[in-house]
Amino acid sequence: MSGSPARIEGTLTSWDDDRGFGFLTPASGRGRAFVHITAFSRGSARPRVGDAYSYEVDRHGDRGQAAVRVAPVGGRWSAPRARAPRPTRSGRVALVVGLVLVVAVAVAVGASAATGARATVVGDALPWLIGGALALSAATALVYAVDKSAARHGRRRVPERVLLLLGLVGGWPGALVAQHLLRHKTSKRPFQVAFWATVAVDVLVVAAALALVR
C-alpha cells in the first residue's frame, strides 16, 4: 500500500488577498505551486507573503502544480469547515439570464412539435429530449459539486475541459445552477468566458436543428 504524498516546505512568495490565491515557492526555489485560500488548514491565520507552510502538490489541475492540504510549518492540516455559499448579485443575474435561455429553448422546441411538416416526429421525441436534457443537467451539477468538494479537501480535481464539455453537450443549465449555488468557478474569468461560449454554441446548434425540422 502506498504511503501519503510527500509534504514540501516552502514560503508564500505571492498573495492576492482580494481574490484569495497566490503562489508557494519551495526551499529549493524551483517548482512554485499555485495555492487557493480553500487549500489552507482550518484555523490558519490569513496568509501573508513570507509565511512558511508545508503542503502537498497536486499535478493534475489545469493550472499546473497546485498546493493542497496547506498548513503552517510544524502544524497539522485539517479540512476547513464547509460554508454555505451565497450567490453574488452578478451570479444571480447570470442565473436568471441562463434560465430565460432555457425557457426560450423549451418554448421553441414545443412550437416545433406543434407546427411544421415533421411535427409528429418532434412531438414523439419531445418527452425523451426533455428527460435527457434534465438528466444531463443533473449529472453536470453533480460533477461540479464533486469538483467543489475536491477543491475544499485537497483531492484530485475534475479538469476544466471536462466541465466545459459537459456544458457544451447540453448540461449548461445544470452547470449554471451549480456554479452560482456553490460559488464555484464564478470568479475565474477565463473559465466563465469559455463557459458562456459553450452556451452560445449549444443554443445556436439547437436553433439550427429546429430550423431544419420546420
Q: What is the pLDDT of residues 30-80, one digit of tens each?
A: 888 999 888 898 888 889 999 999 998 887 655 578 888 899 988 888 876
Assess if residue 80 is contained within a domain.
no
Is-contact 55 26, C-beta < 8 A? no
Are 125 and 170 in a shared domain?
A: yes
Cα–Cα distance measured from residue 44 to residue 42, given in angstroms and rounded to the nearest whole number:
6
CB-count exposure of residue 129 (10 Å: 0-12, 13-18, 19+): middle
Are 203 and 118 in a shared domain?
A: yes
- Scored b (16 or more CB within 10 A) or e, 3-28 reads eeeeebebbbeebeeeeebbbbebee
Are 138 and 184 in a shared domain?
A: yes
HSE-CB of 81 using CA atoms within 13 angstroms: 4
The sign one gets for the Cα dihedral 53, 57, 61, 65 is positive
Q: Report the mean per-residue pLDDT for the chain.
A: 78
Assess if residue 135 is contained within a domain.
yes
Are 44 and 138 in a shared domain?
A: no
The sign one gets for the Cα dihedral 178, 182, 186, 190 is negative
Assess if residue 100 is contained within a domain.
yes
Are 66 and 151 in a shared domain?
A: no
Higher pLDDT, 83 or 136: 136
Assess if residue 83 is contained within a domain.
no
Is-contact 173 77, C-beta < 8 A? no
Assess if residue 184 is contained within a domain.
yes
Are 107 and 198 in a shared domain?
A: yes
Are 34 and 123 in a shared domain?
A: no
Q: Which of 46, 72, 98 is the last residue of a domain?
A: 72
Are 102 and 208 in a shared domain?
A: yes
Are 67 and 112 in a shared domain?
A: no
Are 203 and 135 in a shared domain?
A: yes
The model's pLDDT over 69-90, given as tens digits with 9 standing for 90+, comes to 899 988 888 876 655 455 555 5
For the record, the C-alpha cell of 199 comes out as 452556451
The stretch 128-150 carries a mean pLDDT of 84
pLDDT computed for residue 49 by the predictor: 94
Are 119 and 191 in a shared domain?
A: yes
CATH number at residue 34: 2.40.50.140
Assess if residue 82 is contained within a domain.
no
Higher pLDDT, 195 or 77: 195
Assess if residue 25 is contained within a domain.
yes
Q: Which of 16, 41, 72 is the last residue of a domain?
A: 72
pLDDT computed for residue 1 by the predictor: 44
Which of 165, 118, 171, 121 has the alpha carbon at shortest distance from 142? 171
- Provide the domain limits for residue 42: 8-72
Are 68 and 26 in a shared domain?
A: yes
Which of 1, 22, 3 has the alpha carbon at shortest distance from 12? 22
Q: If residue 66 lies in a helix (H) or strand (E), which one and from where to where?
A: strand 64-72
Assess if residue 164 is contained within a domain.
yes
Domain count, the chain: 2
Cα–Cα distance measured from residue 208 to residue 124, given in angstroms and rounded to the nearest whole number:
19
